[in-house]
Structure 1
Amino acid sequence: MASIQDVARIAGVSVATVSRVLNNHPYVKKEKVEAVEKAIAETGYIQNINAINLKKGKTNLVGVVLPIVDHPYFSQLIQGISQSAADQHYKLVLYQTGYHEGQEMEALEMLKLKQIDSLIICSRKVSLETIERYRQYGTIVLFENGGTTPLSYTFVDHYACFMNALVYLYDKGHREIGFSINRSDGTNSRYREQAYQDFLEMKGLPYHEEYTVKDCLYLEDGERILERFSQLQRRPTALLATSDQVAAGIVIASSKYGISIPEDLAIIGFDNHPIAKAMDITTIGIPLNAIGQLLFSQTLSKEVSHEEVAVRLIERRTV
């Protein structure tokens, strides 16, 4: 493989001149630029990016940890992050972890080894205490309410928006309200479950364990919810679905189970994905694209920041 010295020798210039041409230095004579470019073409010289990054002390790479990529929730986040990254001439390194701690740790180790400049964690399994130990190696940004953590984060108040949705259903006359979540040990899920418990206590309503369905994320989980509810002697009259995908699955399968929406079962989804608009599903609008852009901007900041993003209830026909 040709070296920069080979290019300099063939072009008849110094190594420093070749370096200036490679880095688009403005004060290099035209004939020298042409000679260097010709020598590069002849030798097939390729710059050692790793060596350049080591010299600069940065890679212009940002790591993004996420469990899956085949769900609109995470794909919209990635879209926002990638848009901002491109604007700032950064590239992304995606770590699809499937909530495996070992794979999340690999991303943290990449930060430690300076193979990426910073890390955005969209959802996690590894403990917050473990993540904090890596902040000395580069900027780490979380998409969750990190409380008093010394890391930067952007978050949605899932407790407040879940409570507001429950009160909205209550004001519509519903007293038997269920909900679905994905991971019971997830940070957002814990806030939602706590809001549900506090709501029932506030309104003096009984708790029905069978009204809660876990491990829900995709369209097919909507039918699984209806199948479970169809076996109950007393069914909920309203449901807060994990996401719009799950809510859409319920709407699609409702006729199969003889359920009319919203007459028999009112539904509120989350995130305001395109499918919610297409199917006229009432939902909690979360601006995921804008959140992605904000998360990336926090990786560039020298200051630790905690940003809350407002959400809104979008009323449609499923309530």
Structure 2
Amino acid sequence: MNIHDIAKLSGYSAATVSRVINNRKYVSDDAKLAVQKIIKEYDYVPNDVARDLSKGKTHNIGVVMPYTKHPYYTGIINGVMDAAFPAGYRIVLLPSMYDADVEMNYLNRLRRKAYDAIIFTSHGVTLDDLLEYQKYGSIVCCHDPGNYDISAAYTERIDSYLKAFTWAKAQNVKKVAILLSRNFELSATSQLTRKAFIKIFHHEPLESLLRTDVITYSDGYRSAQSFYKNNVTPDLIFANGDDVATGARQFYLDHHLPIPTLIGQENQLSGQLLNLPTIDHNFHEIGRLAFELAIGDETKQVSVASRFILRNQNDHN
């Protein structure tokens, strides 16, 4: 059933039917009653997708996110959502687990006009793949794309990492544990962490003090447990989230062990309550900027500064 069918059954033109459906003016009472009678009799519901496509827009923005529990992704999503709602856009969350085949499927749905744009909070496909699909709709990534001509909203991380490790070194720590979501080969963020560490400590992070696939509080707890079981006693744990650092802390508390110095990230409530040093990457702002780029007509890259925060001190770097 479409408006042309309703027009035939009601005896009025498709234009008149459209005006009735969309509550437009200049429709006689007789025409309105006749059209509404057919609509009710056949339980007709307008096809929003077809209507949006006829206008050239769906007002759907896809947001690809490998994980749902890490504050990096939740922070960006909250920023996107807060910007999208007042602008009249719908956000479609697209989980990927870094599966390139899954992400290519999302790109092909962009090609088929299921979305006006896609925001990649992170991705398993290559930047070359993203460039190839830009002709089908706006694509935005949330990391520095380097020389690639693609829209991006991202945090400048290196300075805050350097400040965090400089502060750590000033505490006379020798054994620094680093908790990461992905290893150095796969993650640009992990590579920046490694780069900053080497610049300050003048050696590679020790393999025995590295843990990957760390995302949640429970992962932080298990990482500390792993250090203990392997007779590794870090002086400091550089975690990839305040919740992760809190999880590690809880393991040492539960087993009546000395708690290493902790540095978290993302300025989460847990870190605020425990007065943990942290790094705020302003992911909410990144999400807002990514949305603006997604609905805009210009390909450009914007960055936001991160900051290292020392609790109970006047100096917020």
Choose the corresponding residue for 2:291, options 284, 291, 296: 296
Q: Residue deviations 1:138-173, cap 9 Å, x none?
A: 100001111121111111122222111101212233
Q: What does residue 238 of structure 2 align with?
A: 240
Give the CA deviation at 1:222: 1.8
> What amino acid is aligned across from residue 153 of structure 1 in structure 2?
A
For residues 276 and 300 of structure 1, what CA distance do their matches in structure 2 show? Answer: 34
Q: Residue deviations 1:208-231, cap 9 Å, x none?
A: 332222221111222232233335
Give the CA deviation at 1:22: 2.9
Mapping of 1:113-152 within 5 angstroms? 113-152=112-151
Q: What does residue 280 of structure 2 align with?
A: 285
For residues 279 and 21 of structure 1, what CA distance do their matches in structure 2 show? Answer: 60
Q: What does residue 198 of structure 1 align with?
A: 199
SS at match of 1:64: strand
Give the CA deviation at 1:100: 0.9
Mapping of 1:40-119 within 5 angstroms? 40-119=39-118
Give the CA deviation at 1:206: 7.2
- Contact kept? 1:4, 1:45, Cα under 8 Å: no
Give the CA deviation at 1:315: 2.2
For residues 274 and 138 of structure 2, what CA distance do their matches in structure 1 show? Answer: 40
For residues 24 and 144 of structure 1, what CA distance do their matches in structure 2 show? Answer: 45
Deviates more, 1:36-45 or 1:13-22: 36-45
For residues 39 and 48 of structure 2, what CA distance do their matches in structure 1 show? Answer: 16
Give the CA deviation at 1:15: 0.9
Q: What does residue 214 of structure 1 align with?
A: 212
Mapping of 1:173-188 within 5 angstroms? 173-184=172-183, 185-188=186-189
- Contact kept? 1:68, 1:96, Cα under 8 Å: yes
Q: What does residue 315 of structure 2 align with?
A: none
SS at match of 1:182: coil
> What amino acid is aligned across from residue 173 of structure 1 in structure 2?
N
SS at match of 2:264: strand
When the two structures are aligned, how many residues end up with a matched partner? 309
Choose the corresponding residue for 2:26, options 25, 28, 42: 28
For residues 17 and 273 of structure 1, what CA distance do their matches in structure 2 show? Answer: 55
Q: TM-score, normalised by structure 2?
A: 0.88
> What amino acid is aligned across from residue 237 of structure 1 in structure 2?
D
Give the CA deviation at 1:234: 6.5
Give the CA deviation at 1:120: 0.3
Choose the corresponding residue for 2:303, options 295, 302, 308: 308
For residues 36 and 253 of structure 1, what CA distance do their matches in structure 2 show? Answer: 68
Deviates more, 1:116-125 or 1:252-261: 252-261
Q: What does residue 6 of structure 2 align with?
A: 7
Q: What does residue 250 of structure 2 align with?
A: 252
For residues 154 and 293 of structure 1, what CA distance do their matches in structure 2 show? Answer: 9
In 2 relative to 1, CA 233–47 (structure 1 residues): closer, same or farther, beyond 3 Å? closer
Give the CA deviation at 1:38: 4.3
CA RMSD for the aligned pairs? 2.3
Q: TM-score, normalised by structure 1?
A: 0.88
For residues 173 and 23 of structure 2, what CA distance do their matches in structure 1 show? Answer: 67
> What amino acid is aligned across from residue 295 of structure 2 in structure 1?
L
SS at match of 2:198: helix
Mapping of 1:152-171 within 5 angstroms? 152-171=151-170
- Contact kept? 1:76, 1:288, Cα under 8 Å: yes
SS at match of 1:124: coil
> What amino acid is aligned across from residue 195 of structure 1 in structure 2?
A
* Structure 1: runs of 5+ lacking an equivalent: none
> What amino acid is aligned across from residue 228 of structure 1 in structure 2?
S
> What amino acid is aligned across from residue 197 of structure 1 in structure 2?
I
Moved over 4 A (4+): 9-12, 32-35, 231-234
SS at match of 1:45: coil
For residues 112 and 6 of structure 1, what CA distance do their matches in structure 2 show? Answer: 30
